[in-house]
Structure 1
């Protein structure tokens, strides 16, 4: 075949043979890869049930099974309408498609302009490579018959493309593509004139509905189609003007641009809502050449607000409000009936579900703590090391600490000294933090319509969680620190000393002692949680776009979000952690004793300088970041794969849309081009349609 730069004359000369010749030429020049042939063979074999002389064929129904997109749902495009494309694939006109025909059809779908090529083939019934007036009229007239809205084929617009009736002017492929793009506007104009009997420039609401269903019914959801007559409420006469009809049609034509503007504007909005002025401002900033008129935007708001915003530009709408207009397959939430439950059963579930979440948070917290416990031990040793003690500094850096603990304190086991109390304690600690943030504070502060939560409330939710967890965290931390330092103290006291366990530490401290350093613990955990949970939520939403178009984050995206959020939270709260560690560790002879948080900060600054307040900061990042990565990722995965089993009304999740093969998309788009002529295209009696165009078929391809 010639290159893409070939002229229309070359194209016309090349396609004047039969469809079979054209298809064979296409197949030999764009030979499909072997893996594609194998895939097409599997599809064909799986659908073909007809056999003639031992050879399999596809009938129209089986052909539709083979080529129709699997994710369409067929609620806006009727499944049987794909049979129009069967007539293109059935080049021998015997009512059956062979595997060779199927391969040619699939190869055609690989072309970037396959959608228009297929539409052209539907009209070019004699396979001449061009379309004349009678061909175009007969094919289209047969498919407009059921609409009840006539079309004048002798109009001036048709003459511009195809000349006078019976004339010799024909259109080649390139001209045809423009003809099809402009036809809908002429169809709309003639339909309006047909209903405007008194020529006053207005039609009735039901007549407007009939027109839109005819020219664009496949592009709109059932909800919008049902509410089309309400457009009359935008003016006092309760009728619909020509300007409003064309404004609505322009919205449909530019729906992709409408959706982009809405999404960008909502993304910038603080509360997840936008007004007409927000939309127009965003459109002005992002559209270089196109522009929406105030009438068009008011119509968008009318249908998105279900008529509530008519005449008001101050109505602020959410993305959910626009979905029925933006998505042709949109359906209202299903109202499912559930068995009635008694008050006692409701109460039981209200109690059990938080406990179930609490348990999952505990398991997730335990996994996170165990994964990073050795790093935590090194961090504690470094933070407790006082540079003012006379003699050699015990650990020069984190690597030196790891080496000495491993060599002098019993190998790998030494890094897990005190891990069991940590695991027992970390379960309620992490469960309190996670479940309070996720299931109480954030839910109460989240707008139920937009799913948005303001930044102050996000920070408040994190701070509340951090404050609540101190009840469990402080006793856990002080016991853990004493046990982590036990090996170092034992080595200092001599080989005869025996390290004590958790029970001994608890008895030694008593109830009051277990909360020593609680103020420092608050100073660390509250700002940590404020920074961490706010950063985590925004990384998921703003960086990885969770929830946008139903997106569900992958394991890796959750892990990265949780890990990155922990870095600034861990480092900036290191000074409070240093003071807390010093207060809670057992001071040895010659070491400074601290009376409280303020005294600790003051003495560390005076004796060791500001740098000492960030001791172990890097170790905290190395520990906290992966710990919270594992903890929060584990919690979200547990929630996803092991939800509360007795929930009466599980929260519906929007399924992720699997990517559709580009060939299937092109087949669908070809049908959409035809449906732009009439939403009933392909739904008429096929025998009657065939009779109207049979005279143009060569005898060798007679039906």
Structure 2
């Protein structure tokens, strides 16, 4: 039997068939074209952006220091003697702030307020996920070939995830900056700083130059750690969950195989994303702060990555570094399930 080149198939390019006795075997599917990853990623991003937009607005405003309730904004970190009371207070603070911001948006802006920034979000999420999975899927193939490892090796997944994170952050940072500025601009209809996405881009370029469009990029690069953790854990957990489900005494047919695939994909995507978020979340807060509009005199609120980290840690403590965690988790875990579920489905559909 002819040996397949690692450049011909993706790790998803096998499908179950039946051996005598009803046992599942694996049969090769036709080769996947490199652009298939682009289409699969874009499909997942589109579904995710529309379904999770309200949670995205909540998360962005809670990460900023412009929308914190006055009582909570004045709280400074004093360092309690025990870690458990501190974690309990931080958790209550997150829930309280989330409810406050939710009620404020609904009361002052209506339901449309929960979809502010959806335009640039769609313009960002769709190409971002397309680029991310295009680079990730193809770097897995190329990495396996160059490094002489199998495609399911951890080192192959890691290098592909890092490359995908760096490429996505660089290509889409201007879009995310515009989306963040629009989501943080809640002034009245006649007094808003930015009329729309194009006006925001014009003002940023005119007042801050091209460098202004890439504010927060350093934090995005730091966030590549989260991307790598998420995708590497996902690939490993997906295999573990799938093998466990196939050991269950269930009928060996295509319907059960499809159910097992969806369960393993969803479980792995959600578990991996939750773990990655809890470890690497502070970079999200720092990135949002760096992307905030400058003060009225044109001076940036935060001048750099480490200055922003130090400032938040000094004045707000752990509560500040994990601001907006509640809606972020509620949004990002389902988002990961939707995105990777659609991505894997399109890969199987295009490769079958």
What TM-score, normalized by structure 2, do the two folds share? Answer: 0.73
Deviations 1:282-333 (A, max 9, x none): xxxxxxxxxxxxxxxxxxxxxxxxxxxxxxxxxxxxxxxxxxxx98999x99
State the Cα distance separating 1:404 from its structure 2 match: 0.9
State the Cα distance separating 1:387 from its structure 2 match: 9.1
State the Cα distance separating 1:407 from its structure 2 match: 0.9
Say whether residues 1:361 and 2:56 are aligned partners: no
Partner residue in 2 for 1:404: 104
For structure 2, the 5+ residue unaligned runs are 2-18, 75-93
Say whether residues 1:463 and 2:162 are aligned partners: yes
State the Cα distance separating 1:480 from its structure 2 match: 0.8
State the Cα distance separating 1:443 from its structure 2 match: 5.7
| Alpha-carbon contact 1:360-1:431 (below 8 Å) kept | yes
Say whether residues 1:528 and 2:226 are aligned partners: yes
CA–CA distance in structure 1, aligned partners of residues 245 and 71 of structure 2: 58
Say whether residues 1:595 and 2:303 are aligned partners: yes
SS of 2:302 mapped into structure 1: coil
Deviations 1:401-440 (A, max 9, x none): 111101101x221111110121122112101211222233
Q: Which of residues 359, 381, 385 in structure 1 aligns to 2:65?
A: 385
CA 1:473–1:444: 2 relative to 1, 3 Å: same
Alignment of 1:322-341 (within 5 A): none
CA–CA distance in structure 2, aligned partners of residues 392 and 618 of structure 1: 16
SS of 1:539 mapped into structure 2: helix
Partner residue in 2 for 1:616: 324
CA–CA distance in structure 2, aligned partners of residues 606 and 388 of structure 1: 17
CA 1:442–1:564: 2 relative to 1, 3 Å: farther
State the Cα distance separating 1:455 from its structure 2 match: 2.4
Partner residue in 2 for 1:422: 121
Alignment of 1:293-304 (within 5 A): none
For structure 1, the 5+ residue unaligned runs are 1-222, 224-325, 339-348, 645-649, 651-703
Deviations 1:660-685 (A, max 9, x none): xxxxxxxxxxxxxxxxxxxxxxxxxx
SS of 1:571 mapped into structure 2: helix
Q: Which of residues 259, 262, 283 in structure 2 aligns to 1:576?
A: 283
State the Cα distance separating 1:506 from its structure 2 match: 0.7
| Alpha-carbon contact 1:571-1:618 (below 8 Å) kept | no
CA–CA distance in structure 1, aligned partners of residues 127 and 137 of structure 2: 15
CA 1:479–1:333: 2 relative to 1, 3 Å: closer
| Alpha-carbon contact 2:44-2:339 (below 8 Å) kept | yes
State the Cα distance separating 1:334 from its structure 2 match: 10
Alignment of 1:475-514 (within 5 A): 475-487=174-186, 490-491=187-188, 496-498=190-192, 500-510=195-205, 511-514=210-213
Deviations 1:101-126 (A, max 9, x none): xxxxxxxxxxxxxxxxxxxxxxxxxx
CA 1:548–1:437: 2 relative to 1, 3 Å: farther
State the Cα distance separating 1:600 from its structure 2 match: 0.7
CA 1:380–1:387: 2 relative to 1, 3 Å: closer
State the Cα distance separating 1:453 from its structure 2 match: 3.2
Alignment of 1:10-159 (within 5 A): none
State the Cα distance separating 1:368 from its structure 2 match: 1.1
| Alpha-carbon contact 1:388-1:608 (below 8 Å) kept | no
State the Cα distance separating 1:497 from its structure 2 match: 1.2
Relative contact order, CA 8 A, sep 6+: which one is greater?
A: 2
State the Cα distance separating 1:483 from its structure 2 match: 0.8
CA–CA distance in structure 2, aligned partners of residues 579 and 627 of structure 1: 21
Kindly tell me the number of residue pairs found equivalent between the two proteins.
Answer: 298
SS of 1:554 mapped into structure 2: helix
CA–CA distance in structure 2, aligned partners of residues 397 and 599 of structure 1: 25
RMSD: 3.8
CA–CA distance in structure 2, aligned partners of residues 405 and 568 of structure 1: 29
State the Cα distance separating 1:355 from its structure 2 match: 2.9
| Alpha-carbon contact 2:49-2:125 (below 8 Å) kept | yes
State the Cα distance separating 1:445 from its structure 2 match: 2.0
Q: Which of residues 216, 219, 236 in structure 2 aligns to 1:538?
A: 236
Instruction: Give the number of the structure whose alpha-carbon radius of gyration is greater.
Output: 1
Say whether residues 1:413 and 2:115 are aligned partners: no
State the Cα distance separating 1:621 from its structure 2 match: 1.4
Partner residue in 2 for 1:98: none
State the Cα distance separating 1:356 from its structure 2 match: 3.9
CA–CA distance in structure 1, aligned partners of residues 332 and 139 of structure 2: 24
CA–CA distance in structure 2, aligned partners of residues 622 and 389 of structure 1: 21
Partner residue in 1 for 2:15: none
State the Cα distance separating 1:618 from its structure 2 match: 2.5
Deviations 1:522-562 (A, max 9, x none): 111x1111110011111111123289799553323322221
